[in-house]
């Protein structure tokens, strides 16, 4: 073709990336890879290897070791041996290694880009321009955190050995998100890459050797789901960090429930892409190309649900259909390709079958007339219209290049539709009116909100989900904390099981005190700002420390828990109240408790056999604690990040929603106010189960709440048997987090029940904290548990 003809056609010619260097690297390893354990390559005990395939051609790229339990054991042991020295190396020592890794990634960027493109099927252009630069950026950023760790996180220690499991959609990038913060904080790592895309993890292992990383600091075990299962279940792993599907996330939550492993889960999504009628529609179309056709739509935070303002729906869809016709599908190593291959036959089949089901449900399917390559696993960009909000296409993560469209009429309707899935990973909002966009952002249940942009990531800005998209963040300060533990938490004493739990016999089974009969004082449940009787109509006796009858409390049941959660739900306005308002109310609570201090001290004396001084001390410390919670109301601020590119990222500290609190037995008043009022200070609503031994001090406290202008439903109290009530609370879909400080034996049941909506569980694993110590009983750690970071990306400039 002559140049003149080429100008006439204005068509793309082939622009293939040269894969020679990456293929030579595979050949140098004879296309067979062992496990990377303790700094060396080791054959798997099973002597079995699996194939890693190029999805664009069907060719086998290499054979990769399949690690079994014995190999995982060896890798964890290597990481354990390496960890003390790695921590002892100090901040600057670790920073040098992370910096060296960043440089090494840059030096071999071409090889790494081609390898992931071959192994995963993703376009080379995206690997070269997005994935690899972000990988290097992650190591640079965390080299900085390694350097600053002692200064920025005084009194914190690494957790120990991190077991990390990653998916196939961003193989090298997910590795960086896992390994960089773990190493920066002094942990050592055993990482399992996804079985479809192990090659860049193995190439990274080699970079670790090249920079002289001490043996055992990073270990790579390849294999399928059973290798991952062996890793997360390993008893010597201290922290599990998982990225993958919500389904496997649930399995991992269950599998780790009976251990004290710390857990972060980065799971799936079905993210809304909201376009208002005043949006720049051409920009929104380009946003959609990035939102759903980037990486073939195999993106956890893909903008897979287009919610478009009704007046502009047809116009936007017309533009979108035209743009779909210009997207180029084809060989991923061609630099002019927009959409590459789907990772594996099973994924292609999943996409096809979900689209078929959507069409069978009544959806209209549009696919551009784009030629597909003759061989390889390709699926065309797809648009599904005529979709109802409850349909499979609107609810299920397809994880492919499929966009579902719905319309809305008002901002409220947009919010309702946007939040109408169990997920909460990300959202995009398109409007030229900054007030509209920023007004919507806090109302969206999502860990990341992009204004007039989409799929922006940076190492300084935490990424992670709400609800069934998981918990924990990767990136930024909030991501780092997930690998650290305050030193005092290492030294907590184990709690005994309570000596006395609620008697099984009902009303009247304990002997009276023999004191003259006063006027009966009936403790009730406290739900929605009202004192209520228990649904079951039963009460149970409460005894003094020496076994005398002290009174009765209602025996709450699952219906009472449900009522309390519903009351908390109705009090949603608290979440949007400002810190100053909340602070004033909490100060007033403290004032009213102080006013009745002697009465509360007397009650504590009766219940706990504390002497006068200690009972007064508990009340006075409680008043002080409420002051501390009130003080934090308007100070637990977010941050503004300035990541590369022209964006500001506003990191908001958002309340979790409704928090279920199971109170400990010790310091019954102080522990309750510390937990409940910090949660409330951060804008949450609370359903609390007092300790069964000392519930009366908490039921007395609702009178203080009533006189202090605490809105109905913000604090709810259900007495009864925690062993029965706490799994109900932990399993309730409208409870966003559970704080369990009850009897050690209840911890596993609560963690297991929490899988219902993947709620965040906070517990000290049956260890007791000193509620009088402000470091343990108040402040930042409680507020961190009471909030989740939402990063709102706001671009600037023309
Ligand atoms: P997957 O859950 O099937 O597998 C993820 C990883 O877990 C793989 O390495 C797999 O071998 C391993 N695994 C499977 N079963 C296991 C078990 N029982 N125990 C331990 N490990 C096990 O997910 P996938 O198909 O590889 O990836 C796609 C999913 O990942 C999507 O749902 C996507 O949304 C999600 N994802 C989330 C994020 C995020 O940051 N939130 C990022 C990327 C991908």
Q: Report DSSP letters for 7-59, one per residue.
A: HHHTPPPP-B---HHHHHHHHHTTTEE-EEETTEEE--TT--EEEEE-TTT--
Of the candidates 404, 405, 337, which has an alpha carbon nearest to the alpha carbon of residue 371?
Answer: 337
Query: CB 35: neighbour CB atoms within 10 A?
Result: 27
DSSP strands (E only) in 484-635:
484-486, 525-527, 530-532, 539-543, 549-554
Task: Give the pLDDT confidence of 679-737 residue by residue, as tens digits.
Answer: 999 999 999 999 999 999 999 999 999 999 999 999 999 999 999 999 999 999 999 99
* Confidence at residue 13, expressed as pLDDT on a 0 to 100 scale: 80
Of the candidates 786, 788, 564, which has an alpha carbon nearest to the alpha carbon of residue 679?
Answer: 786
Cα separation, 749 vs 724, in Å, equals 10
Cα separation, 585 vs 419, in Å, equals 30
DSSP annotation of 495? P
What's the 228 CA to ligand 1 centre distance in angstroms? 10
Atom of ligand 1 nearest to the CA of 397: 32
Q: Whose CA is nearest to atom 43 of ligand 1?
A: 300
| 740 neighbors 761 (Cβ within 8 angstroms) | yes
What's the 463 CA to ligand 1 centre distance in angstroms? 16
| 534 neighbors 525 (Cβ within 8 angstroms) | yes
Tokens representing residue 378 in the block: 């390709």
The DSSP element (H or E) to which 384 belongs, if any, is: strand 382-385
500 pLDDT exceeds 60? no
Chain position carrying tokens 């958002």 = 654
Tokens representing residue 362 in the block: 């009544």
* Confidence at residue 508, expressed as pLDDT on a 0 to 100 scale: 39
- How many whole angstroms from its chain centre is CA 649? 18
Q: Whose CA is nearest to atom 18 of ligand 1?
A: 229
What's the 513 CA to ligand 1 centre distance in angstroms? 60
| 462 neighbors 142 (Cβ within 8 angstroms) | no
675 pLDDT exceeds 80? yes
**Contacts with 644 (C-beta within 8 Å, 6 or more apart), sequence order:** 137, 458
Question: Residue 287 in 3-state DSSP?
Answer: helix
The DSSP element (H or E) to which 793 belongs, if any, is: strand 787-795
Confidence of residue 517 (pLDDT cuts 50, 70, 90): low
What's the 267 CA to ligand 1 centre distance in angstroms? 7
Q: Whose CA is nearest to atom 23 of ligand 1?
A: 244
* Confidence at residue 367, expressed as pLDDT on a 0 to 100 scale: 97
Q: What is the average pLDDT across 616-633?
A: 98
Cα separation, 780 vs 481, in Å, equals 12
Q: What is the average pLDDT across 617-621?
A: 98
What's the 224 CA to ligand 1 centre distance in angstroms? 11
Atom of ligand 1 nearest to the CA of 247: 2
Cα separation, 644 vs 81, in Å, equals 38
Cα separation, 100 vs 121, in Å, equals 29
* Confidence at residue 12, expressed as pLDDT on a 0 to 100 scale: 76
Q: Whose CA is nearest to atom 10 of ligand 1?
A: 225
Of the candidates 95, 76, 413, which has an alpha carbon nearest to the alpha carbon of residue 231?
Answer: 76
Chain position carrying tokens 């706990």 = 608
| 437 neighbors 451 (Cβ within 8 angstroms) | yes
What residues flank ligand 1, with Cβ below 6 Å?
A: 165-169, 192, 194-195, 224-225, 228-229, 232, 243-245, 248, 251-252, 266-269, 300, 397, 399, 425, 465, 469-470
Task: Assign residue 91 a region (left: φ > 0; alpha: ψ between -120 and 50; beta: otherwise).
Answer: alpha
CA distances from 75 to 81, 168, 329, 562 (A): 10, 21, 40, 45
Task: Output 615 or 546, whichever has higher pLDDT.
Answer: 615
Q: What is the average pLDDT across 545-559?
A: 92
* Confidence at residue 2, expressed as pLDDT on a 0 to 100 scale: 80
Of the candidates 598, 689, 642, 623, which has an alpha carbon nearest to the alpha carbon of residue 794?
Answer: 642
* Confidence at residue 518, expressed as pLDDT on a 0 to 100 scale: 61
Confidence of residue 154 (pLDDT cuts 50, 70, 90): very high
Atom of ligand 1 nearest to the CA of 425: 41
What's the 54 CA to ligand 1 centre distance in angstroms? 19
At how many degrees (to 10) do helices 597-608 and 579-595 cross? 70
Phi, psi of 243 (to 5 degrees): -125, 130
Tokens representing residue 709 in the block: 């202008």
State the catalytic residues: 266, 300
Rounded to 5°, the CA angle 334-339-345 comes to: 105
Question: Mutate which of 131, 167, 304, 427 to test ligand 1's pocket (most atoms within 8 Å of Cβ)?
Answer: 167
Q: What is the average pLDDT across 301-312?
A: 98
Q: Whose CA is nearest to atom 35 of ligand 1?
A: 244
Task: Give the pLDDT confidence of 753-785 residue by residue, as tens digits.
Answer: 999 889 999 999 888 899 999 999 999 999 999
Q: Whose CA is nearest to atom 13 of ligand 1?
A: 225
Residue 361 buriedness (CB in 10 A; 0-12 / 13-18 / 19+): middle
Phi, psi of 156 (to 5 degrees): -115, 150
504 pLDDT exceeds 50? no
Question: Mutate which of 69, 245, 347, 398 to test ligand 1's pocket (most atoms within 8 Å of Cβ)?
Answer: 245
Task: Give the pLDDT confidence of 660-672 residue by residue, as tens digits.
Answer: 999 999 999 999 9
CA distances from 476 to 134, 462, 480, 641 (A): 13, 5, 7, 9
Rounded to 5°, the CA angle 755-565-710 comes to: 130
* Confidence at residue 604, expressed as pLDDT on a 0 to 100 scale: 95
């Amino acid at each position: 073709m002559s140049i003149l003809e080429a100008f006439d056609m204005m068509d793309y010619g082939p622009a293939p990336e040269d894969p020679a260097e990456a293929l030579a690297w595979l050949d140098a390893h004879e296309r067979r890879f062992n496990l990377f354990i303790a700094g060396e390559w080791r054959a798997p005990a099973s002597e079995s290897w699996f194939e890693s395939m190029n999805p664009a051609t069907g060719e086998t790229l290499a054979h990769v070791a399949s690690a079994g339990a014995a190999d995982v054991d060896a890798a964890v042991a290597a990481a354990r041996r390496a960890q003390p020295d790695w921590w002892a190396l100090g901040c600057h020592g670790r920073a040098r290694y992370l910096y060296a890794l960043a440089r090494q990634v840059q030096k071999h960027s071409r090889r790494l880009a081609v390898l992931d493109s071959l192994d995963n099927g993703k376009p080379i252009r995206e690997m070269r321009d997005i994935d690899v630069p972000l990988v290097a950026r992650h190591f640079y950023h965390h080299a900085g955190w390694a350097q600053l760790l002692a200064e920025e996180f005084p009194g914190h220690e690494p957790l120990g050995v991190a077991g990390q499991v990653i998916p196939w959609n961003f193989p090298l990038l997910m590795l960086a998100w896992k390994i960089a913060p773990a190493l920066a904080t002094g942990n050592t790592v055993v990482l399992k890459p996804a079985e479809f895309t192990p090659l860049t993890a193995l190439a990274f292992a080699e970079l670790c050797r090249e920079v002289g990383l001490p043996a055992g600091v990073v270990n790579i075990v390849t294999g399928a789901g059973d290798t991952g299962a062996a890793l997360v279940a390993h008893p010597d792993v201290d922290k599990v960090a998982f990225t993958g599907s919500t389904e496997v996330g649930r399995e991992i939550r269950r599998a780790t429930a009976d251990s004290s492993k710390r857990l972060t889960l980065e799971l799936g999504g079905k993210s809304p892409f909201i376009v208002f009628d005043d949006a720049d529609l051409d920009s929104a179309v380009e946003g959609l190309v990035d939102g759903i056709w980037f990486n073939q739509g195999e993106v956890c935070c893909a903008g897979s649900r287009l919610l478009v303002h009704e007046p502009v729906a047809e116009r936007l869809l017309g533009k979108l259909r035209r743009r779909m016709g210009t997207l180029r599908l084809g060989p991923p190593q061609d630099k002019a390709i927009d959409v590459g291959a789907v990772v594996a036959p099973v994924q292609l089949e999943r996409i096809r079958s979900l689209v078929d089901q959507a069409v069978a449900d009544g959806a209209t399917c549009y696919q551009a007339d784009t030629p597909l390559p003759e061989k390889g696993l390709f699926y065309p960009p797809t648009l599904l219209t005529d979709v109802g909000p409850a349909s499979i296409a609107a609810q299920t993560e397809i994880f492919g290049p499929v966009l579902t469209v719905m319309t809305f009429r008002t901002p409220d309707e947009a919010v309702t539709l946007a939040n109408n899935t169990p997920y909460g990973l990300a959202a995009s909002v398109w409007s030229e009116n900054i007030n509209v966009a920023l007004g919507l952002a806090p109302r969206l249940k999502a860990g990341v909100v992009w204004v007039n942009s989409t799929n922006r990531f940076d190492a300084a800005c935490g990424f992670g989900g709400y609800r069934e998209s998981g918990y924990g963040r990767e990136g930024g300060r909030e991501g780092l904390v997930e690998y650290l533990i305050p030193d005092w938490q290492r030294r907590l004493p184990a709690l005994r099981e309570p000596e006395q739990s609620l008697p099984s016999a009902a009303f009247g089974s304990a002997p009276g005190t023999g004191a003259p009969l006063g006027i009966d004082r009936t403790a009730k449940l406290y739900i929605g700002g009202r004192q209520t009787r228990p649904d079951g109509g039963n009460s149970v006796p409460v005894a003094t420390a020496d076994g005398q009858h002290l009174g009765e409390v209602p025996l709450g049941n699952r219906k009472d828990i449900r009522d309390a959660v519903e009351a908390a739900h109705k009090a949603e306005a608290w979440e949007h109240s400002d810190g100053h308002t909340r602070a004033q109310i909490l100060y007033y609570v403290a004032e009213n408790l102080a006013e009745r201090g002697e009465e509360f001290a007397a009650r504590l004396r009766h219940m706990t056999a504390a002497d006068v001084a200690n009972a007064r001390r508990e009340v006075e410390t409680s008043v002080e604690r409420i002051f501390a919670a009130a003080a934090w109301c308007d100070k637990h601020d977010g941050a503004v990040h300035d990541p590369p590119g022209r964006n500001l990222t506003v990191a908001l500290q958002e309340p979790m929603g409704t928090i279920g609190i199971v109170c400990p037995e010790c310091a019954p008043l102080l522990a309750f106010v510390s937990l409940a009022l910090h949660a409330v200070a951060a804008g949450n609503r609370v359903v609390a189960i007092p300790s069964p031994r000392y519930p009366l001090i908490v039921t007395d406290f609702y009178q203080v709440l009533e006189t202090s202008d605490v809105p109905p439903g913000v604090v709810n109290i259900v007495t009864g048997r925690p062993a029965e009530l706490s799994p109900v609370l932990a399993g309730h879909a409208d409870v966003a987090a559970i704080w369990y400080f009850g009897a050690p034996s209840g911890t596993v049941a609560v963690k297991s029940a929490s899988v219902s909506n993947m709620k965040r569980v906070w517990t000290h694993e049956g260890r007791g904290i000193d509620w009088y110590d402000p470091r343990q009983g108040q402040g930042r750690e409680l507020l961190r548990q009471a909030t989740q970071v939402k990063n709102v990306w706001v671009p600037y400039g023309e």
